[in-house]
Structures are given as C-alpha cells and as structure tokens.
Structure 1
Amino acid sequence: MYLDEACVRFNRIAGIKFGELFSPDDMNMIIVNKGKTGQLLELALGLHLSSSNMDFDDGELKTNKCDSRGNPKETVFITQISSIIDELIEERTFEETHLFEKISNILYVPVCKDGRPEDWMFLPSIHIDLSLRKFATLKDIWRADYYSICQQLRNHIENSPDGFIHTSNGIHIQVRSKDARDRNGNYHPIYSDVYDRYVSNKNHAFYFQKQFVYDIRKMMV
C-alpha cells in the first residue's frame, strides 16, 4: 500500500468514534491490548501489518497520541541511532542519511485517545513528501536540525564530563535516550568507531518534537 492510499482511507474514517467504527470483538481486543497503535492501524486499514514494522511501499507511517483538537500529547519516534552514530558524528550529507530516508516521505496519523476506548478516534492525517515544492521550508528546517544535532552530539562527546552524548534539540527534531534493559538488567551502550570508544551508556533515538505537529497542522490550513 502507498501512503496516498493510506491517507485517503484514514481520512474517510477521521472523526468517527471507535465504538461506531469497530466491531464489539475488535473493541474487546483494543481494550485488552490497551489500544496498541499498530493493531488499531491494522484494523483501520483492513490489512495484516506487523505492529512493530508498519511497512509501506513508498514511505513511513508516523502516529501520535493527541487530544480531540489534534494537539500532541507525545513526541513522535523516528528511528534509533546506535547503528548510525558515526554517520552523525561525521556529518554525512543530510540527503544521504538514514534519517532522511526515514522522514523524506511520511504519513502523520494523529490518534485521539481522550475518554473511553469507545470514544477514541483517528483525526485527519497529513502526508508529507519532501520531494514536493510545498514542503521545501519543512525540508530546510529538518536539514538545519540535523546538522545542528550532529554538532551538539560531537560537542557532548568531546567536552561533557562523562564523554557521552546527551539530549540534542533542533526546532522539530531531537535526539534523546530511548532504551530498555535486557533480561540481564543491562542497557545497550553506543560504540563509535570514529572515537574508538563508547559514547553513550544507553541507546538514543531521533524524535519529532511537539512543535513539529503544531507547524505541519498550520501548513495544511
């Protein structure tokens, strides 16, 4: 499925309460599984997709918990950085990065989870394709964020007391810690070949900050 098609499907059901949209059996599944976003998307699209890897033919799906007016309640996960840390340290050209691959064509789907699960609903989704001229300003912001974050990470590694990377912010994009302990109670440190040492004691990831949501909603008015 392509993002354009997914966008149309989501927007057809935007604003319809889940209690009206899904069957009683589906609602029981949603309640039992605490409304896992991947399962909600599967039901809404009528497809069997993996909730851990929502694959589309031409881009990525990005979901977010919001209120009934579409205001974000959370940041939006993009991708982890452990495998690309040296790409960031060396400031690879933005358009050649794994980050760009992840955000160059995305469908943002807000999910309102106010009240009971029966009252939850999808809100209108936004398709962002950076190859289109109308998103040139957005692309410029994300490019500037990327280079700023690369510089911040290097500065942390070289100048912070612990020699580790720390939260780094742009206007829309940030890097911050995202990790869970393994079965032995350990986190997943990040090793840099450039510095030939560990540069973090736990994994980190790229996120869209809440400002991203406010700004793209303004663009679509």
Structure 2
Amino acid sequence: MKLEEANVKLNKLSRVRFGDLFSDEDMNTIILNKGKTGQLLELSLGMNLSNTNLDFEDGELKTNKCDANGKPIETIFITQISSVIDELIQEKTFEETHLYEKIRNILYVPVCKVGEPKDWMFLPSIHIDLREPKFAELKDIWKEDYYSICKQLKSHIENSEDGFIHTSNGLHIQVRSKDSKPYHPIYSDIYKRYVSNKNHAFYFQKKFVEDIKKLNF
C-alpha cells in the first residue's frame, strides 16, 4: 500500500472511537499487545496483523501519541545513528543520507490515546513528500537542522569533558540517547574511539507537529 492511499483511508476514519472501529476480538488483541499503534493501523487499513513493522511501498509511517486536540505528548523516533556516526561527523550531503531516506516521504498519524483503548482514535493524518515543491520550506528546515546537528555532535566529541556526543537540537529534529541495558556504545572510525557510551537516535521534536499543522498543505 502507498502512503497517499493510506492517508485517504485513515482520514475517513479520523475521530472514530476504536470501540466503534474494531471488533471485540481485535480490541482484545490490541490490549494484549499493549496498544501497539502499528497493529491498530494495520487493522484499520484492512491489512493482516504481522510481527513486523508496518511499512508502505513508497515511504515511512510516523505515529505519535497526542491529546484530544492533537497536541503531541511525545517526541517521534526517526532512526538510530550508530551505523552512520562518521557520515554525520563528515557532514555527508543531506539528500544522500539515511536520515533523508527516512523522512523524504512520510505519513504522520497522530493517535489520541486519552482514556480507555475503546475511546482512542486516529486524528487527521498528514502526508509529507519532500520532493514536492509545496514542501520546500519544510525541507529547508530539516536540511538546516541536519547540518546544525552534525556540527554540534562533532563539537561535543572534540570539546566536551567526556569526549562523548550529547543531545543536539535543531528546530524540528534532534539527536538524543535511545538505548537500554546492556548499552550499545557508538564507535567512530574517524576518531578511532568510542564517542558515546550508549546508542543515540534522530527524533522529531514536538514543535515539528505544531508547525506542520500550521502549514497550508
């Protein structure tokens, strides 16, 4: 299934309570699996439940927990950086990065999880394709964020007391730690040493949601 097809289907179901959208059997499955958003989306789109992440033919799905007004409650995971740390240090061209591949064409789906699972609902989704001229402003923001973060990470490695990378922020995108014990340190071939004692990842910050809702798409 392609992103735009999913976008149309999901927007037809926006603000419909899950209790009215899914069968009792489906709701039990969702509750047993701790309300995984990927499963909710698969069910709503008429897809078969699977143990893999929900992928679309032409892009990435980005969901987020929000309140009834669509205000984000959490940041949005994009991708981990351990395998591309040296590309970031060297400021690889934005359009050639793994990050760009992950955010070039995305479907943002806010999920209101206020109350019991039966009262949860999808809110209107937004399809963002950076290759389209109408998203040029957004692409410029993310591109500037990327290069700013690259510079921040390099500065942390070379100037911080521990020699490790730390949280680095752009306007919409940030890099921060994402790991659990046992931790996975990040090694740089450029510096010939570990540059972090745990894994880190790119995230969209809450301002990303606030701003894309304001833009006239």
Q: After TM superposition, is the score higher than 0.5?
A: yes
Report the secondary structure of 2:207's partner residue. helix
Are the equivalent residues in 2 in contact too, given 1:146–1:173 (CA < 8 A)?
A: yes
Are the equivalent residues in 2 in contact too, given 1:38–1:50 (CA < 8 A)?
A: no
CA distance in 2: counterparts of 1:51 and 1:75, whole angstroms: 24
Report the secondary structure of 2:62's partner residue. strand
When the two chains are superposed, the root-mean-square deviation of aligned CA atoms in Å is 1.1
CA distance in 2: counterparts of 1:165 and 1:151, whole angstroms: 11
Residue aligning to 1:70: 70
CA distance in 2: counterparts of 1:209 and 1:144, whole angstroms: 15
* CA positional deviation for 1:53: 2.5
CA distance in 1: counterparts of 2:51 and 2:216, whole angstroms: 28
Deviation per CA, 1:103-151: give whole Å up to 9, x if none: 0100000000001111100000000000111110000000000000000
Counterpart AA for 2:136: A
Count of residue pairs brought into register by the alignment: 217
Whether 1:217 aligns to 2:213 is: yes
Q: How does 1:13-28 map to 2 (within 5 A)?
A: 13-28=13-28
Are the equivalent residues in 1 in contact too, given 2:60–2:102 (CA < 8 A)?
A: yes
Residue aligning to 1:142: 142
CA distance in 1: counterparts of 2:51 and 2:211, whole angstroms: 27
User: Runs of 5+ in structure 2 lacking a partner?
Assistant: none
Q: Are residues 49 and 85 of structure 1, via their aligned partners in 2, closer, same or farther at CA, if it must alter by over 3 Å?
A: farther
Deviation per CA, 1:197-221: give whole Å up to 9, x if none: 1000000000000000000001147
Residue aligning to 1:82: 82
Report the secondary structure of 2:35's partner residue. coil
Runs of 4+ in 1 over 3 A off after TM superposition: 49-52
Q: How does 1:65-214 map to 2 (within 5 A)?
A: 65-181=65-181, 186-214=182-210
Report the secondary structure of 2:201's partner residue. strand
CA distance in 2: counterparts of 1:193 and 1:50, whole angstroms: 37
The percent of aligned pairs where both chains have the same amino acid is: 73
Report the secondary structure of 1:56's partner residue. coil
